[in-house]
């Protein structure tokens, strides 16, 4: 694939926001256009999971282009909860095709204005219709995965809580995060039960927010070196294992192959932690740790901010927040900031290779993106 | 841009269908995979405008990949009523980028199971929220455009009816069309008023249906020679004219430039005729006729099946039908069949260059696609 670079990134603050979705995306765009005159932007790629139902608005790509005062072609891209990664990949392919030199990828979601049961109902539509018919919700299926993993690999409940504790610590250092406060293990372990054994602090929150990235074929600081995208069956009951996500493994293989890199080359990673168990599984699927050993690596501090391989320095979906369509692109913004040395209090020293991994639906359409400091 | 070819196309029959959206897309896919073993398909690009609200289903790209038994990466692409064209463009860019060799683009919509007022309400969400607030609907705005055009260019009501008559004639020759019957001018002119002066026969119907195209970088019969994509303001009141669509003009310029072709090189075209007036405006915006002269060209039979430049040989949105997300891709399938000599009773002799033009929303995100017989 032809070379593609990132030349500017921005984010809105994540959280409970009063602004409209177009206004949140505008806020993110303002940060992204610092290094580029907006007249060079030839097309806009817009990621949003379900603005039709969250905010009663369709034709979202044209709505956003209009709000950004960019009278240029636009595409809306959607792949459930990995939408933010998908929009980055589609934009990168458009630039690599030579059809465009410089494009903007934006992603956002506005959710907090709706009552939680309504949000849960909309979110559950991404599940297999077959399994949804039996009342499956995302937390219920994630709880099933958690139970299975805890049983097979003797993972302790306390270890899961460490994921949330680490995320909240990192979030406390991120001015864009939904939650910017430390949380004690005791509080996590005693929080309200959502779906046994997952408690409130094991689940990413409902958030509003947006992210923006400018991509270009002109040489810039950070290069896209690997784009991986992998799929799996829609229904969980058709998979041979619930304790790993083959869609991530396939996406990772594709990205590492394209980049000619190994898991050991990665200096910092953002992974999809919609539920605490996912972070542990993700770090195994990405080849950072052997299956069943992700929890132990976490306990030893390997994935902490000062560990060998810091994971979710932004606070992850858990603490940075999870406006579904935006999260995958927000991960890429965090990696960009880490590689350009702009991550402030959560900076990983000397990071040169970063990875973002995003899960679509219940791990049926996953993305892995590898970025590297340009040589 | 690197060379991209079409190597197989398929369609479901359009109309009032009992099958589900995934089943309609499967039906279209079966026709498209005649020339290609499905194990070579590396990714699926899925176009659907609003399955969330039409069929209560999200994560549509994963749902479709699953239904087609393709355990490969998928993207959902959406740009309102030009979604079917957008999904083709995104797929072509992915192939041209070198990231994939062979991909599948599918598009479909299931609408007829809902009551018409509900469909109209969902469709009106693509309009500018600002204008929608005042009760604007798509037919009401199209009627305003029609009134303006009739006044300025002295277009007669009877000429508009000729668009519908021609479409129904062509549809009568197309076994995939929603309507396969001739309609008399008298019937058109006396049909129920929708929004003055637009009558029922001036408006594309609510339809179900799907289309599928396989794209590849391996040399094949038909090549993508021009991809044009143009935008305009979301709100009509911000435009300098309602009697032409700049988004089409911009897309056409981009496509002609890329292909190094002129309007005079086009042998057959499918244009977006959601309303009869649009076909006349489209043929002007594409440079086939001067502004204000599209109606006269139609009257003279220039755009008839046996004319110099046959337009909407499929029957167009009017008679082939308009399952919104599918229509843009169905146009490309018709052009493919014309260029490969498979258009049966509606075959345009010796067609070598074909054009498809698709309108997103009220002409704010339009596409022009140029295909040519490979040399």
Per residue in B3-48, pLDDT (tens digit) is: 999 999 999 999 999 999 999 999 999 999 887 888 999 999 999 9
d(CA A181, CA A179): 6
Helix boundaries (H) for chain B: 21-32, 51-54, 60-67, 83-96, 116-124, 129-132, 138-153, 157-171, 185-189, 246-259, 276-285, 294-299, 316-319, 324-339
Answer yes or no: do A126 and B365 touch at CB < 8 A.
no
Query: Would you state the pLDDT for residue B35?
Result: 79
Query: Would you state the pLDDT for residue A334?
Result: 98
Query: Would you state the pLDDT for residue B135?
Result: 87
d(CA A26, CA A8): 14
**Do residues B371 and B94 lie in contact, with contact meaning Cβ atoms separated by under 8 Å?**
no
In this complex, the residue of A62, A78, A94 whose CB is nearest that of residue B80 is A62
Collapsed DSSP state (helix, strand, coil) of residue A106: strand
> B19: how many CB neighbours lie within 10 A of its CB?
16
Give mean pLDDT, residues B68-76: 96
Query: Would you state the pLDDT for residue B15?
Result: 98
Closest CA to A368 of A266, A289, A277, A296: A266
d(CA B45, CA B149): 37
Mean of per-residue pLDDT scores for chain A:
97
In this complex, the residue of B59, B97, B127 whose CB is nearest that of residue A96 is B97
Q: Model confidence over B174-202: pLDDT tens digits?
A: 999 999 999 999 999 999 999 999 999 99
Q: How far is CA B359 from CA A41, B143, B247, in A?
A: 22, 16, 8
Query: Would you state the pLDDT for residue B215?
Result: 98
Query: Would you state the pLDDT for residue A299?
Result: 98
d(CA A218, CA B179): 50
User: Which residue in this structure is represented by tokens 């345009």?
Assistant: B348
Mean of per-residue pLDDT scores for chain B:
97
Best probe of the B interface among A47, A75, A90, by most B CBs < 10 A, is: A75
Q: How far is CA B6 from CA A199, A362, B208, B333, in A?
A: 51, 33, 24, 10
Query: Would you state the pLDDT for residue B329?
Result: 98
User: Which residue in this structure is represented by tokens 């692109």?
Assistant: A329
Query: Would you state the pLDDT for residue A208?
Result: 98
Best probe of the B interface among A62, A68, A237, A362, by most B CBs < 10 A, is: A62
B43 vs A contacts (CB less than 8 Å): 229
User: Which residue in this structure is represented by tokens 């927000």?
Assistant: A330
> B101: how many CB neighbours lie within 10 A of its CB?
14
The verdict on A62 touching B (C-beta cutoff 8 Å) is yes
State what percent of residues in chain B have pLDDT above 70. 100
Q: How confident is the model at residue A129 (pLDDT cuts 50, 70, 90)?
A: confident
d(CA B224, CA A59): 26
Residues 6+ apart with CB under 8 A from B2: A97, A98, B95, B96, B97, B98, B217
User: Which residue in this structure is represented by tokens 């950004």?
Assistant: A68
Q: Model confidence over A235-271: pLDDT tens digits?
A: 999 999 999 999 999 999 999 999 999 999 999 999 9
d(CA A153, CA A333): 33
**Do residues B231 and A73 lie in contact, with contact meaning Cβ atoms separated by under 8 Å?**
yes
Identify the DSSP state of B156: -
Q: What are phi and psi of B5, to 5 degrees?
A: -120, 155
Q: In the numeric block, which tokens belong to residue A215?
A: 């991509």
Q: How confident is the model at residue B375 (pLDDT cuts 50, 70, 90)?
A: confident
Answer yes or no: do A77 and B74 touch at CB < 8 A.
no
Q: Which of A120-124, B26-30, B277-281 has the lowest mean pLDDT?
A: A120-124
Per-residue pLDDT at B243 exceeds 90: yes
Query: Would you state the pLDDT for residue A135?
Result: 87
Q: Residues 113..142 of B with a Cβ closer than 8 Å to A: which?
A: 122, 125-129
Query: Would you state the pLDDT for residue A157?
Result: 97
Give mean pLDDT, residues A152-179: 98
What residue of A is the nearest CA neighbor of B1?
A: A98
A57 vs B contacts (CB less than 8 Å): 125, 129
In this complex, the residue of A66, A98, A229 whose CB is nearest that of residue B96 is A98
Q: Model confidence over A50-74: pLDDT tens digits?
A: 999 999 999 999 999 999 999 999 9
Q: In the numeric block, which tokens belong to residue A212?
A: 């923006």
Best probe of the B interface among A49, A51, A59, by most B CBs < 10 A, is: A59
Q: Model confidence over A272-301: pLDDT tens digits?
A: 999 999 999 999 999 999 999 999 999 999
Q: Which of A21-25, A133-137, B280-284, B304-308 has the lowest mean pLDDT?
A: A133-137
Identify the DSSP state of B366: E
d(CA A66, CA A76): 14
Q: Model confidence over A181-234: pLDDT tens digits?
A: 999 999 999 999 999 999 999 999 999 999 999 999 999 999 999 999 999 999
The verdict on B342 touching A (C-beta cutoff 8 Å) is no
What residue of A is the nearest CA neighbor of B254?
A: A99
d(CA B324, CA B209): 9
Query: Would you state the pLDDT for residue B187?
Result: 98
A127 vs B contacts (CB less than 8 Å): 59
Query: Would you state the pLDDT for residue B230?
Result: 98
Q: Round to the nearest angstrom and report the end-to-end CA distance of chain B.
A: 17
Query: Would you state the pLDDT for residue A90?
Result: 98
Give mean pLDDT, residues A346-375: 97
Per-residue pLDDT at A160 exceeds 90: yes
Q: B323 preceded by cis ω (within 30°)?
A: no
Q: What are phi and psi of A102, to 5 degrees?
A: -135, 125
d(CA A370, CA A269): 9
Per-residue pLDDT at A1 exceeds 90: no
Answer yes or no: do B75 and A56 touch at CB < 8 A.
no
Q: Which of A183-187, A367-371, B127-131 has the lowest mean pLDDT?
A: B127-131
**Ramachandran sector of residue B101 (left: φ over 0; alpha: ψ -120 to 50; beta: rest):** alpha
The verdict on A43 touching B (C-beta cutoff 8 Å) is yes
Per-residue pLDDT at A332 exceeds 90: yes
């Amino acid at each position: 694939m032809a070379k593609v670079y990132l030349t500017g990134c921005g984010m809105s603050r994540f959280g409970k926001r009063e602004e409209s979705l177009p206004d949140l995306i505008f806020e993110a765009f303002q940060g992204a256009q610092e290094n580029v005159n907006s007249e060079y932007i030839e097309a806009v790629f817009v990621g949003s999971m379900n603005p039709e139902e969250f905010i009663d608005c369709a034709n979202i790509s044209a709505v956003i282009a209009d709000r950004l005062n960019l009278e240029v072609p636009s595409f809306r891209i959607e792949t459930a909860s990995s939408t933010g990664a998908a929009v980055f990949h589609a934009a990168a392919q458009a630039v690599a095709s030579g059809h465009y030199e410089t494009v903007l990828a934006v992603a956002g979601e506005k959710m907090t204005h709706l009552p939680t049961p309504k949000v849960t109902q909309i979110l559950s539509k991404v599940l297999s219709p077959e399994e949804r018919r039996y009342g499956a919700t995302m937390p219920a299926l994630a709880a099933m995965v958690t139970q299975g993993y805890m049983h097979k690999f003797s993972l302790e409940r306390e270890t899961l809580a460490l994921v949330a504790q680490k995320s909240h610590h990192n979030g406390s250092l991120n001015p864009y995060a939904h939650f910017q406060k430390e949380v004690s293990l005791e509080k996590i372990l005693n929080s309200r039960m959502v779906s046994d054994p997952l408690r409130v602090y094991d689940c990413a929150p409902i958030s509003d927010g947006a992210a923006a990235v400018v991509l270009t074929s002109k040489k810039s600081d950070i290069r896209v070196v690997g784009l991986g995208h992998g799929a799996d069956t829609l229904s969980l009951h058709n998979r041979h294992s619930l304790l790993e996500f083959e869609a991530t493994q396939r996406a990772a293989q594709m990205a590492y192959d394209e980049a000619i890199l190994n898991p050991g080359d990665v200096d910092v990673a953002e992974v999809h932690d919609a539920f605490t168990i996912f972070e542990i599984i993700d770090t195994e699927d990405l080849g950072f740790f052997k299956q069943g050993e992700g929890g132990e690596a976490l306990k030893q501090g390997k994935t902490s901010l000062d560990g060998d391989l810091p994971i979710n320095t932004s606070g992850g979906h858990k603490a940075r927040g999870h406006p579904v369509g935006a999260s995958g692109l927000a991960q890429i913004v965090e990696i960009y900031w880490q590689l350009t040395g702009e991550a402030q209090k959560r900076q990983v020293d000397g990071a040169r290779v970063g990875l973002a991994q995003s899960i679509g639906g219940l791990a049926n359409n996953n993305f892995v993106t590898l970025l590297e400091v340009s040589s």
